[in-house]
Amino acid sequence: MSIRRSRPVDMELTTRYIQNSLKLESAQMLRIKECAAKHKIVVILGFSENVNDSLYISQAIIDADGEIRVTRKKVKATHMERTIFGDSFGDCLDSVADTAYHTYSQREQIHVAAWPPLFGDEDGKGLYSLSRSGRTHSSMTLGSSKKLIKLLGTAAVAQTYAIESQSFVLHTTALISQPGIDLMKSQGGLMGIPGGGCSAIFGPDGRKLTVDIPDTEERMLYHHLDLSEVLKSRAFVDVCGHYSRPDMLWLGVDNEVKRHVINR
């Protein structure tokens, strides 16, 4: 009988990660906000947020005037993320903002989905959806045209989200390099292979609007979004409008922030 031992936590590496995680009120965040205002762009920033030295997987919507419109934390850290990151508060459910240029019920038009580089081993023991094959190489043919279509693991989720919410989905993925793998000692894990990129933009009808780029290369994707396409899709199916039955099926949400200390 063999016993598999988990890797010990590298406290020195964890300390460095905490020190390098971004605080909302910091010179680094101020520089990002100033850059957004200078170039008149909306920035959707995914980052490791440091709140009194507790870490959260966070996202900020910075408007073209440099002001932060929304910050939110991931509702529940996934799998190994729980060794480093905490769970969100109730205010993370308010995640849609009007910018210069509510998920589903908040009537979003553009959804930004951020994913880490989740390439895993090809040994067949882990989740197929998180393997290199499951994320990039699965394919199918359509009819007599024999048209080849890539089915990406996380991108398939983003494509489905676009169809269900009738919104444009900016599916953004991070990359990991061999030096990063060596530093984190993640060989053989979910982040054990260089690459991880499968970014794409999907239209509200699920159509992929961009061309795939190599999974090991860092590039920018551009596409002009015609928001009238949202109306075309919602005229067909609007899951929070004419195609919903709140008299029969509804969602309960508690977005109250639960504080550690309550003064009465």
The top-scoring range by mean pLDDT among 32-46, 131-145, 154-168, 188-202 is: 32-46
CA pair distance 132, 152, nearest whole angstrom: 9
Residue 264 belongs to some domain of the structure: no
Do 112 and 233 lie in a common domain? yes
- Is the pLDDT higher at 92 or at 84? 84
The model carries a pTM of 0.72
State the Cα angle at 175 between 223 and 227, rounded to 5°: 20
Please identify, among 53, 88, 123, the residue that sits at the C-terminal boundary of a domain. 88
Residue 73 belongs to some domain of the structure: yes
Q: What is the pLDDT of residues 21-50, one digit of tens each?
A: 999 999 999 999 999 999 999 999 999 999
CA pair distance 141, 147, nearest whole angstrom: 5
Please identify, among 36, 60, 88, the residue that sits at the C-terminal boundary of a domain. 88
Q: What is the pLDDT of residues 154-187, one digit of tens each?
A: 788 899 999 999 999 999 988 888 998 898 888 8
Do 235 and 194 lie in a common domain? yes
Do 133 and 243 lie in a common domain? yes
CA pair distance 227, 236, nearest whole angstrom: 15
> Rounded to an integer, what is the distance from CA 35 to the centroid of its chain?
22
E strand or H helix at 29: helix 27-39
Q: Residues near 152 by Cβ (< 8 Å), separated by ≥ 6?
A: 135, 136, 138, 198, 200
Residue 3 belongs to some domain of the structure: no
Do 137 and 205 lie in a common domain? yes
Do 79 and 106 lie in a common domain? no
Do 70 and 107 lie in a common domain? no
Do 78 and 108 lie in a common domain? no
Backbone phi and psi for residue 72, each to the nearest 5 degrees, phi listed first: -145, 155
**Containing domain of residue 30, as a range?**
8-88
* Residue 231: predicted pLDDT: 92
Contact 65, 37 (CB under 8 A): yes
Scored b (16 or more CB within 10 A) or e, 90-105 reads eebbebbbebeeeebb
Do 79 and 111 lie in a common domain? no
- For the cut 80, the answer to whether the pLDDT of residue 132 exceeds it is no
Please identify, among 57, 88, 119, the residue that sits at the C-terminal boundary of a domain. 88
Residue 187 belongs to some domain of the structure: yes
Residue 33 belongs to some domain of the structure: yes
pLDDT tier, 64 (very low <50, low <70, confident <90, very high otherwise)? very high
* Residue 250: predicted pLDDT: 86
Do 122 and 208 lie in a common domain? yes
Do 46 and 68 lie in a common domain? yes
CA pair distance 114, 119, nearest whole angstrom: 15
Residue 1 belongs to some domain of the structure: no
Residue 96 belongs to some domain of the structure: no
CA pair distance 61, 87, nearest whole angstrom: 20
Do 140 and 244 lie in a common domain? yes
> Rounded to an integer, what is the distance from CA 21 to the centroid of its chain?
17
Do 122 and 209 lie in a common domain? yes
CA pair distance 191, 179, nearest whole angstrom: 12
- Is the pLDDT higher at 262 or at 51? 51
Count of structural domains within the chain: 2
Closest of 70, 62, 80 to residue 191, by C-alpha: 80
Strand 43-51 and strand 54-62: the pairing is antiparallel
